[in-house]
């Protein structure tokens, strides 16, 4: 037997992604390395695993589809070797597939993954970033072990461990007259142009803040990229409502934004850990969850400004 687990891993990643480029982005390996590994695996097995279509990417052959089932089982068994050794020796080792909500991933994910790997050198965090619905889908398919996300619409079968509360605030241009106010009301905001973060479930949360007050906001734009929204806000196109607080107070073009608290008792979002409820946590998973509980709280979130509950979020 001369094929390697790495070749199997690259084959599975490519089969699931449908292209070498997407697989490379997902597992953080160069496309030429994946292409070479697949070619070597095909040569070793004496079978073509993919049909290569330049316009449509890759599709599995009949042999490739059959092999994919066994390949996934092989990788699962290989991972269990680490888990068994970890449990028996009381060490923390192995690979943890961690999903993170895309809105706060640039701040939280690198910091928490680095601190965990530093605390447990035998552990590796394999990151993935997506919206909330996609994270739940990947958890159900066992493509992720755990996800950092919000407690938004969690179906039966999922477990949520809360870590921190994030109160909503209005984000305004530095030149906006309301930017100097100690707080702003939903009535004041409803009469202005709202640039809405239009992601699954997130949009419902932001709109519900107005609905509970009997108000309808004036949505002028719906965008899914928070960096674009920040830049539009900084340039005076409107305001937005957000919960995450990057350490930088500037948009990508260098213009400043200001955070102003929203008056009243507004429902916060809860940031926490999501996993499949029926999943029996391994030592690695338990250790990561305990690490997150130590590192993330109402008063401290890695990579973000996180004021204590009840203080001015600006």
What is the DSSP secondary-structure string of the chain? ----HHHHHHHHHHHHHSSHHHHHHHHT--HHHHHHHHHHHHHHHTS--EEEETTTEEEE-HHHHHHHHHHHHHHHHHHHHHHHHHHHHT---EEEEEEEETTTHHHHHHHHHHHHHHH-TTEEEEEEEE-HHHHHHHHHTTS-SEEEEE-SS--TTEEEEEEEEE--EEEEETTSGGGGSS-B-HHHHHTSEEEEE--TTHHHHHHHHHHTTT---EEEEEES-HHHHHHHHHTTS-BEEES--BS--B-TTS-BEEEEEBSS-PPPEEEEEEEETT----HHHHHHHHHHHHH-BTTBBTTB--PPTTS---
Encoding tokens for residue 239? 């305001």
Question: Is the confidence at residue 312, as pLDDT, over 70?
Answer: no
The whole-model pTM stands at 0.70
**Residue 27 CB neighbours (<10 A):** 18
Domain ranges of the chain: 5-83, 91-165+270-295, 168-261
Q: How far is CA 9 from the centre of its chain?
A: 22
Question: Is the confidence at residue 313, as pLDDT, over 60?
Answer: no
Average pLDDT estimate for 292-304: 92
Determine which of 17-31, 104-118, 136-150 has the lowest per-residue pLDDT on average. Answer: 17-31
Q: What is the pLDDT of residues 184-229, one digit of tens each?
A: 999 999 999 999 999 888 899 999 999 999 999 999 999 999 999 9
Question: Is the confidence at residue 78, as pLDDT, over 70?
Answer: yes
Euclidean distance between CA atoms 117 and 309, whole angstroms = 29
Q: What is the pLDDT of residues 241-269, one digit of tens each?
A: 999 999 999 999 999 999 999 999 999 99
Question: Is the confidence at residue 167, as pLDDT, over 60?
Answer: yes
Domain 91-165+270-295 and domain 168-261, same fold? Reply is yes
Q: What is the CATH number of domain 5-83?
A: 1.10.10.10
Question: Is the confidence at residue 310, as pLDDT, over 60?
Answer: no
Residue-level pLDDT at 296:
94
Residue-level pLDDT at 58:
85
Q: In what order do the strands lie in the sheet with 169-173?
A: 240-242, 169-173, 257-261
Most distant CA pair in the chain: distance in Å?
71
Fold topology of 168-261: D-Maltodextrin-Binding Protein; domain 2 (3.40.190)
Fold topology of 91-165+270-295: D-Maltodextrin-Binding Protein; domain 2 (3.40.190)
Q: What is the pLDDT of residues 87-131, one digit of tens each?
A: 555 677 888 999 999 999 999 999 999 999 999 998 989 999 999
């Amino acid at each position: 037997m001369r094929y390697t687990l790495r070749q199997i891993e690259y084959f599975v990643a490519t089969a699931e992604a449908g292209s070498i480029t997407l697989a490379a982005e997902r597992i953080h390996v160069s496309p030429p390395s994946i292409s070479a590994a697949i070619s070597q695996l095909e040569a070793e097995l004496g079978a073509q695993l993919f049909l290569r279509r330049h316009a449509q990417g890759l599709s599995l052959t009949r042999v490739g589809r059959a092999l994919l089932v066994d390949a996934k089982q092989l990788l699962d068994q290989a991972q269990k070797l680490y888990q068994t050794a970890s449990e028996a020796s009381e060490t923390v080792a192995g690979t943890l597939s961690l999903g993170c909500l895309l809105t706060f991933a640039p701040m939280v994910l690198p910091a928490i993954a680095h601190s965990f790997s530093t605390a447990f050198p035998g552990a590796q965090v394999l990151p993935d970033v997506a919206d909330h619905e996609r994270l739940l889908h990947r958890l159900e398919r066992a493509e992720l072990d755990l996800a950092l996300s919000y407690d938004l619409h969690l179906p039966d079968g999922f477990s949520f461990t809360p870590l921190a509360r994030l109160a909503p605030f209005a984000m305004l241009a530095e030149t906006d007259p309301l930017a100097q106010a100690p707080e702003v009301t939903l009535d004041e905001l409803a009469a202005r142009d709202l640039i809405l973060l239009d992601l699954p479930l997130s949009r419902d949360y932001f709109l519900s803040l107005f609905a509970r007050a009997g108000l309808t906001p004036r949505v002028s734009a719906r965008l899914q990229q928070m960096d674009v929204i920040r830049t539009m806000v900084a340039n005076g196109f409107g305001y937005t409502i957000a919960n995450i607080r990057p350490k930088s107070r500037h948009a990508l073009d260098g213009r400043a934004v200001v955070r102003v608290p929203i008056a009243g008792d507004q429902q916060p979002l809860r940031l926490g850990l999501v996993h499949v409820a029926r999943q029996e946590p391994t030592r690695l998973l338990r250790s990561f969850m305990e690490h997150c509980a130590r590192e993330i709280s109402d008063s401290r979130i890695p990579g973000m400004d996180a004021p204590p509950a009840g203080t001015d979020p600006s």
